C-alpha cells in the first residue's frame, strides 16, 4: 500500500477551485516535489493530506489516504493521531509556527508527550535528542532557548526536529528554504536528504524553486491552476520537459552560470560610500554590522551586493539611502556628502506588505513622495500616480485599491512605482524578489532592467540569491561579517572567484541537473567530515 494515495482531489474556497481533480501516489521512502507558481494549489494539497481544511469552510472532494488513514472519513481523534505521529509538516515560516514565549525544547517535548504519553523528563530528553540529530550545536543548552534566540536556519532545524520527534513515516515540507540564504538552504536540504536515508521516511516537498526540487527528490509533479501539468522522474522532467508550461518555468529560473548581457557603458559616479561603519549596541555588547565598506555606483549600472544573512548587506543598503546614519565614514550623492534622506536615492524593500500601509490605497502611498516635494494639485498628483502605475505594468484605475487586493508581484510593482515617484537617480533594492516565484521574479527583474535603460537609473541590488544577482548586475560586491571580501565585474567574480567565501557561496547554489546536485551534496558532506 502506498504511503500517500490521492485520487481526484478537489478543494474549493467560495467560487475558487484551488485544486481540481489531482491524483498521485507516494511510496514509502520516496520523495516527491510539488512544483508550481504561487496560486497553483500546491500548498493547498499539502494541507489536505493532514486534513487541515476541516472546519475552515473549504469544500474538499475526492479521496486522500495517508499512512493507511482515510483523511476524508477519519474522526477528529484519528486526525490528531495522524498529525505528528504518522505524518508531520514543516512550514515555510518557523516564527509563525513556534510559540515565542516558550523554550524550543519545551515545545518539542509537548508534541512528543501528546502522542506518546511519556514523562516530562523523557519528553525533554527526546527533545534534546532530536535537536542534536538535526545539527543544533550544544543541544542541551540550546533546548532552553526561545525562538528569537535562534537564527532563521536554526529555527527551521528546530521545526524539523519537532516533526521528527515521533518518527513519522511522512514528512511534508512546505517551502522550507524560501527565506534562507544559499548556504543555509543547502544545509537544510542536505539534512532532509540524510534524514530520509537514515529513517526511510517519505518526503513531500512543496516548492516554487525548481532548483531546490532538482537535488532533493526522486519525482516531480508540476502544478498549474490546481491541476497536474506534468509528472515524472526529476531528471526526465527537468532535463527534457514535455509540456510548454514546464519549459516556461525552467526558462524563468535564473542561472548562476549564465553571463549577463553587457549593459551600455556606465556614466558618471552618482553614489559613493567611503569607509562606512555602522555599530549597534553599546560598551562590550557593541558590534559592527558594517565595517569599513567603500564602493561606487555609476549612472546606468547595477551593483549587486551578495552575502549570507547577517553579512551586513541590508544595513549597508539602509545607510546608502539615509535610513541609517553611519557610525563612521560618509555617503556621497553626486559628489556631495549626504545630509539626511535624499529623494534622489530611493529604496524598494523586501516585503511590500510591511512597507505599504494596509489602511491606505496604493495610490495614496505612491503619492507620498510627490506631496513631500511640495506638490499640492490633487489632479496632477492623481494623474502622475496613474502614469506610474501604468509604467510598472499595473492599471491607472488601481489607484483606489488597497495592498491586500494585489498579488505579491503586483505589490512589489507598487513599491517600485512609489520609488519612481521621487524621480530618483539611484534605487537600492533590498531582496526585492526573494519572496516571489520564479516567473514573477523574472517579470520584476525585467521591469527593473527596462526602467534602468529608459531612465538611466543606477541600481544597487541587495540579495542572497547569487543567480539573480548575476543576472542583473554589472559589478558584484561580496559581503561577509560586515566587510566586502571581493568586488569586481560580475563575470569575473562568478567565473574566477578569488576569495574562499565566494567559492563557498557559489558551491551552495542549487543546480538544475540532479547529478550535479548530488555531486555537490557529496562534496559538502566531505568538507563537513574533514
Q: Residue 481 pLDDT > 70, yes or no?
A: yes
Query: Bigger pLDDT: 220 or 1?
Result: 220
What stretch(es) of the chain map to CATH 3.40.50.300?
4-248, 263-344+426-495
Stretch 419-446: mean pLDDT: 88
* Percentage above 90 pLDDT, the chain: 54
Stretch 146-157: mean pLDDT: 84
Confidence (pTM): 0.82
For the packed helices 120-133 and 152-164, what is the interaxial angle rounded to 10 degrees? 130
**Alpha helices of 226-351 — where are they, by DSSP H?**
234-239, 244-252, 313-321
DSSP output for 221-249: EEEETTEEEEEEEHHHHHHS--SHHHHHH
pLDDT band (50, 70, 90) for residue 198: confident
Stretch 310-339: mean pLDDT: 90
Q: What does the pLDDT look like over 87-106, one tens digit per residue?
A: 988 887 777 788 989 999 99
pLDDT of residue 291: 94
pLDDT of residue 301: 94
pLDDT of residue 527: 66
CATH of 4-248, one of 3.40.50.300, 3.20.20.80, 3.40.50.1100, 3.10.20.580: 3.40.50.300
Q: Sign (positive/negative) of CA torsion 280, 285, 287, 289?
A: negative
Q: How many CA atoms lie within 13 A of 438 on its CB side?
A: 21
For residues 508-522, one letter each, b for 16 or more C-beta atoms within 10 angstroms of the residue's C-beta and e for the rest, the string is bbbbbebeebeebbe
Nearest of 55, 72, 60 to residue 5 by alpha carbon? 72
pLDDT band (50, 70, 90) for residue 61: very high
Stretch 237-265: mean pLDDT: 84
pLDDT band (50, 70, 90) for residue 334: confident
Q: Residue 530 pLDDT > 70, yes or no?
A: no
Residue 453: phi and psi, rounded to 5, are -65, -40
Measured distance CA(255)–CA(129) in Å, rounded: 39
Measured distance CA(339)–CA(336) in Å, rounded: 9
| CATH number for the domain running over 263-344+426-495 | 3.40.50.300
Amino acid at each position: 500500500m502506498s504511503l500517500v494515495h490521492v485520487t481526484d482531489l478537489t478543494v474549493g474556497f467560495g467560487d475558487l477551485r484551488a485544486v481540481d481533480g489531482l491524483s498521485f501516489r507516494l511510496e514509502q521512502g520516496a520523495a516527491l516535489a510539488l512544483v508550481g507558481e504561487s496560486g497553483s494549489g500546491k500548498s493547498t494539497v499539502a494541507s489536505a493530506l493532514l486534513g487541515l481544511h476541516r472546519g475552515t469552510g473549504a469544500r474538499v472532494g475526492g479521496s486522500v489516504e495517508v499512512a493507511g488513514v482515510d483523511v476524508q472519513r477519519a474522526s477528529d481523534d484519528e486526525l490528531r493521531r495522524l498529525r505528528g505521529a504518522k505524518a508531520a509538516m514543516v512550514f515555510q515560516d518557523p516564527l509563525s509556527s513556534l510559540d515565542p514565549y516558550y523554550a524550543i525544547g519545551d515545545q518539542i517535548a509537548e508534541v512528543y508527550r501528546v502522542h506518546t504519553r511519556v514523562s516530562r523528563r523523557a519528553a525533554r530528553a527526546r527533545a534534546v535528542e532530536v535537536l542534536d540529530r538535526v545539527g543544533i550545536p550544544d543541544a542541551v543548552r540550546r533546548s532552553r532557548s526561545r525562538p528569537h534566540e535562534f537564527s532563521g536556519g536554526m529555527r527551521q532545524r528546530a521545526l524539523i526536529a519537532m516533526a521528527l520527534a515521533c518518527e513519522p513515516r511522512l514528512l511534508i515540507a512546505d517551502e522550507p528554504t524560501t527565506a534562507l540564504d544559499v548556504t543555509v538552504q543547502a544545509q537544510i536540504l542536505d539534512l532532509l536528504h540524510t534524514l530520509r536515508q537514515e529513517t526511510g521516511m517519505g518526503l513531500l516537498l512543496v516548492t516554487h524553486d525548481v532548483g531546490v526540487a532538482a537535488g532533493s527528490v526522486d519525482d516531480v509533479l508540476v502544478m498549474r491552476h490546481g491541476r497536474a501539468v506534468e509528472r515524472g522522474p526529476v531528471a526526465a522532467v527537468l532535463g527534457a520537459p514535455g509540456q510548454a508550461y514546464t519549459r516556461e518555468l525552467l526558462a524563468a529560473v535564473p542561472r548562476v552560470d549564465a553571463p549577463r548581457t553587457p549593459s551600455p557603458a556606465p556614466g558618471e559616479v552618482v553614489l559613493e560610500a567611503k569607509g562606512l561603519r555602522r555599530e549597534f549596541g553599546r560598551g562590550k555588547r557593541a558590534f559592527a554590522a558594517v565595517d569599513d565598506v567603500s564602493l561606487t555606483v555609476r549612472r546606468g549600472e547595477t551593483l549587486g551586493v551578495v552575502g549570507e544573512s547577517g553579512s551586513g548587506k541590508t544595513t549597508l543598503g539602509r545607510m546608502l539611502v539615509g535610513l541609517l546614519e553611519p557610525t563612521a565614514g560618509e555617503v556621497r550623492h553626486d559628489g556631495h556628502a549626504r545630509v539626511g534622506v535624499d529623494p534622489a536615492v530611493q529604496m524598494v524593500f523586501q516585503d511590500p506588505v510591511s512597507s505599504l500601509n494596509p489602511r491606505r490605497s496604493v495610490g495614496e502611498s505612491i503619492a507620498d513622495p510627490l506631496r513631500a516635494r511640495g506638490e499640492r494639485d490633487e489632479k496632477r498628483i492623481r494623474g502622475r500616480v496613474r502614469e506610474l502605475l501604468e509604467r510598472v505594468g499595473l492599471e491607472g484605475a488601481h489607484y483606489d485599491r488597497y495592498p491586500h487586493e494585489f498579488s505579491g508581484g503586483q505589490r512589489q510593482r507598487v513599491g517600485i512605482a512609489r520609488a519612481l515617484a521621487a524621480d530618483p537617480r539611484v534605487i537600492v533594492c533590498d531582496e526585492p524578489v526573494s519572496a516571489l516565484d520564479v516567473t514573477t521574479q523574472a517579470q520584476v527583474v525585467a521591469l527593473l532592467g527596462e526602467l534602468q535603460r529608459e531612465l538611466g537609473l543606477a541600481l544597487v541590488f541587495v540579495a542572497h540569491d547569487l543567480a539573480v544577482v548575476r543576472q542583473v548586475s554589472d559589478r558584484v560586491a561580496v559581503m561577509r561579517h560586515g566587510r566586502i571580501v571581493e568586488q569586481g565585474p560580475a563575470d569575473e567574480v562568478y567565473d574566477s572567484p578569488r576569495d574562499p567565501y565566494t567559492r563557498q557561496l557559489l558551491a551552495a547554489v542549487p543546480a538544475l541537473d540532479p547529478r550535479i546536485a548530488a555531486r555537490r551534496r557529496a562534496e559538502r558532506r566531505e568538507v563537513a567530515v574533514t
